[in-house]
Structure 1
Amino acid sequence: MTTTATRTALAELLAPVPVSEFLESHWERAALHTGAPDPDRFTSLVSVEDLDHLLTVVHAAGLGNPDAVRVSRGGDPVPPREWLRERPDGHHELDVRRVLSLHRHGATVVLNGIQRSVAPIDRLCGELSAFFGVQVLANAYLTPAGGQGFPPHPDNHDVLLLQLAGAKRWRLHGSPVPLTTTEPDRPHRPTEPPEQELVLRAGEVLYLPRGLVHAGVAIPGKASVHLTIGIHPYTWAQLLGDVVAELREDDVRFRRSVSPRLGAIEDGAEAALTELTAALADPERVRRIRLARAARALEPGRTGQQGRLAELLRPTPVADTTPVRPTEPGPTLRPVPGSVVLATVERELTFPDYVEPALAALLDGTAPCAAALAELLDPPGRLTLVRRLVREGVLEVCGRPTPSAASGLPGQPVSKPL
């Protein structure tokens, strides 16, 4: 189930371009530069001070993954020996003084996978992951004024570039291998002028489909900080490969040899191929594999738990108008006779079937509090439902109760035990 919160997250990034237009005209097709310049637009995601703390405190103390930092200068990577130091035990750790010195003299510092350390970015990546059904990761790029971190190159995943501070000039050179899924084995050296050139300013967003060759240079006079949201694809080839892998275990026909002598396949090969191809087109099998893959995309690296221990130790009383929201993106509802099953990545919860509309409203964001369920459940029932979902960790409190007329909405609420 794609939640309203998920759709809203993408819609806010792409505004004023509608999500439907993006998917129809730009996704996997063409670059999109959107958003009115607003230097403070992304401060709720991460600030320069947050990035400073991550580099100079977390990584300096050896608490971060050492592979989560890269340094590049003039389009070429800086060898790790220039910014790592060896400890007495033979391991290496980040030398922040060297990193800052390199940055001062023109090097770009890259903080990889910062969704692991910054809760708002983790939430954003999780919401986008629920929408696209694939893994979504985030890197931060800190480039000094006039600097260039990397040479022209294509990525093997789609990206959303969010400019946090400063500005960067981007040159787009087309796609030698459209929608590539492999990393280039050698640097790409464009021989033609860029097909498109633009300046990305603070508060703006640039979408680049995978395979599009691009390079960015910070505008002289001010450092650039941008966030790259990487959307890692799950292609038709991968889906069919997963289907074949499962059929190989379940169906003996897929384990038979093509022929005793491969170079002498007779006419029966065409009939066998037709028969096996038909087995691939099993809608239920494809659906199950696709949904399982989408669920796995939400599992690794999910760290958006900040504040939840405090909530467990000192739970906020949930009233009729207490604002709530889903704690994880992508929960699903599955009807069974007389009941409805709410499935998250971690577990399944069973409820009476009559509360399915209320559950759907809470999970897709159309009901931001218990009072908003007035047309679906009576006051005790809706409050019991919301409190159970909070207790189970499906919903979280995201504010204080506010006076609302919602509790007086007209309707015919249902009163039954949960």
Structure 2
Amino acid sequence: MKHSAQELVEQRGCPAYCCRGELSTACKYQNWNFKFHDKGSVNMPKKGGKHAEMGKAMQAQCKRAKVEAACSLSVMSFESPDSLFGSLISPIKQEMFFREYWEQKPLLVQRNDPLLAAYYQSLFQLSDLKELCSQGLYYGRDINICRCVNGKKKVLNKEGKVNYMQLKKDFDQKKATIQFHQPQRFKEELWKIQEKLECYFGSLVGSNVYITPQGSQGLPPHYDDVEPGDLLYFPRGTIHQADTPPGISYSTHVTISTYQNNSWGDFLLDAIPGLVFDTAKEDVALRTSIPRQLLMQVDIADSTKKLSSLLRKLADRLENTRELRSSDMKKDFIMNRLPPCLGYDSDPLTPGGKLPKIDSKIRLQFRDHAIITVEPDQENSDEIRREMVYVYHSLKNRRETHMMGTEDDTTSEDGTSQQTHGLRFPLSYLDALKQIWSSSTVYVKELNLIADEEKENLALSLWTECLIEVI
């Protein structure tokens, strides 16, 4: 498959063409491409103009980024999120990756390893679609059929359910690319990879599969080969395009993407309202009225000095704040991420082992799948609501709906409501919860609560949700 990095664009607001004109959102994500099934090449445009100049700069970056592995690499390490990511980009070290490539320039890691090439090939194959279609796939939601005609995307989707024979016919005769959305819903190995990456980045991780037939439109001359077993990383904002050259039956690649809506701007939009709310309770300046008719004015230049002064006060308070309320981003991540991948034949999580008692020694399970937030009491509709501690987790999330947002993101395909799973405690429990989260092990009787009954109730509540175990 040929990948053409046509130009570097601004980090947000620009589409990226992926897989023969398929419109992607690479401007919002960091992208990893896993290449397998055939030989291919990465290409750059060489004609004059602005795009060519930007292309030449990117070509030089990619050439410097090319890395040949000195020795054979084994398949992925799933011991921890850190080890998984390390094995993903090996032999590049993580420190070097984030220092030199992350959000800066593409990275091509070339590895002549048959074991790794075979592993990548096992992630998804064209033959997998035959079985998946029998389970009920739909055009648009699960699969797109498209071609690049005169530089533009042409969607060839039918209506309703996908028929595999028709899909194969469009693939063979119309030379259409198959885009399969979120294969981790069906392929356990991708579930394992993406669940660990979500733990590693603390951000949602989605994926797509692109299967492209032979004889697709040509691309400009290549400047680097992408072989089976290689990995190609694109920072957000990189426009890229792929096709399959003649002589190869078809080409498949998996694109794994992360870090959409995870910028400092997104975090500020989420955290500042809580900071303003907390500051206003103590600073009377934030509770004084705005100037008369300010909302009716076109020019508010006279009020900007006052507003700037208030923002400086917020900045001063922020420097001395240990915690920021970012509940919306936290909850969105926890509610929509993958559940833990415990094994292909594992039953759903249920509490097990000994019940926690006052003398029990406990430890946190699934640390990467749970968060603590402080929010106004959601069950009290009074005008003045007291603050409560909420523990949210993703242990009961549904893998089948991962990254499959609909018009109403709170409702799944079968009509059941998707909700955030977790527990609610009085604010006085916050220190004890932090104690459990920050300790490798802790005795229930040593929890930072006054009464033994409170300590046992906290431990039992967390045990019931499978968040702690007794050791």
Retained in 1: the 8 A contact 2:118–2:229? no
One-letter amino acid of the counterpart of residue 33, structure 1: L
Q: Which moved more, 1:200-209 or 1:211-220?
A: 211-220
Identify the residue that residue 276 of structure 1 maps to in structure 2.
Answer: 311
Shift of 1:332: 6.6
Q: Which residue is equivalent to 2:158?
A: 84
**Alignment-derived partner of residue 259 in structure 1:** 294
Q: State the SS of the aligned residue for 1:210.
A: coil
Matched with 2:80 is 5
C-alpha distance 276-357 of structure 1, shift in aligned 2 (>3 A):
closer
**Deviations for 1:96-151, whole angstroms, at most 9, x for unmatched residues?**
22211121132211111112222221232222222222211011111123436xxx
**Residue 177 of structure 2 contacts residue 212 of structure 2 at CA under 8 Å; is this kept in 1?**
yes
CA deviations on 1:179-221 (whole Å, 9 max, x unpaired) are xxxxxxxxxxxxxx78x83222111111111111211222432
Given candidates 8, 17, 31, the residue that maps to 2:106 is 31
Q: Which amino acid aligns with 1:23?
A: F
- How far apart in 1 are the matches of 2:322 and 2:177? 43
| Structure 1 residue matching 2:179: 3-state secondary structure | strand
- Is 1:15 the equivalent of 2:15? no
Matches within 5 A, 1:86-101: 92-101=160-169
**Alpha-carbon spacing, 1:295–1:392, altered in 2? closer, same or farther (3 Å):** same
1:240 aligns with 2:278: no
Does structure 2 retain, via aligned residues, the 8 Å contact 1:59–1:66?
A: no
2:65 is matched with none
Post-superposition CA distance 1:294-323 (Å, at most 9, x none): 4632431525464221886999xxxxxxxx
State the one-letter code of the partner of 2:208.
N
Contact 1:133 1:293 in 2 (8 A): no
Alignment partners' CA distance in 1, 2:334 and 2:121: 21
Are residues 1:297 and 2:333 paired?
A: yes
What is the TM-score with the length of structure 1 in the denominator? 0.58
Unaligned runs of 5+ in 2: 1-77, 281-285, 354-363, 374-389, 395-420, 424-428, 443-461
Whether contact under 8 Å (2:125, 2:252) holds in the other structure is: no
Structure 2 distance, partners of 1:291, 1:239, is 10
Give the 5 Å matches for 1:31-180: 31-41=106-116, 44=119, 47=122, 52-53=127-128, 55-62=129-136, 66-74=140-148, 76-80=152-156, 83-85=157-159, 92-105=160-173, 106-147=175-216
Q: Distance in 2 between matches of 1:313 and 1:247?
A: 37
Which residue of structure 1 aligns with residue 246 of structure 2?
220
1:27 CA displacement: 0.8
- Whole-Å Cα distance in 2 between the matches of residues 277 and 328 of structure 1? 36
Q: What is the CA RMSD across the aligned residues, in angstroms?
A: 4.6
Give the residue type in structure 2 aligned to 1:205: L
Structure 1 counterpart of 2:265, which letter?
Answer: A
TM-score, normalised to structure 2, is 0.52
Match of 1:399 in 2: none
State the AA in 2 paired with 1:93.
Answer: K
Q: Using the alignment, how far apart are the partners of 1:121 and 1:267 within structure 2?
A: 56
The residue aligned with 2:324 is 288
Equivalent position of 1:186 in the other structure: none
Q: Secondary structure at the match of 2:178?
A: strand
Q: Report the equivalent of 2:234.
A: 208
Question: In the TM superposition, what is the alpha-carbon distance from 1:35 to its structure 2 partner?
Answer: 3.7
1:359 offset after TM fit, Å?
A: 4.9
Distance 1:271 1:98 in 2: 65
Identity %: 18
User: What is the aligned partner in structure 1 of residue 411 from structure 2?
Assistant: none
SS in 2 for 1:288: coil
Structure 1 unaligned segments of length 5 or more: list them.
86-91, 149-168, 172-192, 316-324, 335-340, 361-388, 397-416
Work out which structure has the larger RCO, using CA pairs closer than 8 Å and 6 or more positions apart in sequence. Answer: 2
Q: Is 1:307 the equivalent of 2:345?
A: yes
Structure 1 Cα separation of the partners of residues 140 and 254 of structure 2: 19
In the alignment, the residues of structure 2 paired with residue 121 and residue 357 of structure 1 have an alpha-carbon distance, to the nearest angstrom, of 31
Q: Which moved more, 1:292-301 or 1:15-24?
A: 292-301
The number of equivalent residue pairs is 302
Seen in structure 2, the aligned counterparts of structure 1 residues 13 and 355 have a Cα distance that, compared at 3 Å, is closer
Secondary structure of 2:145's counterpart equals strand
Contact 2:180 2:208 in 1 (8 A): yes
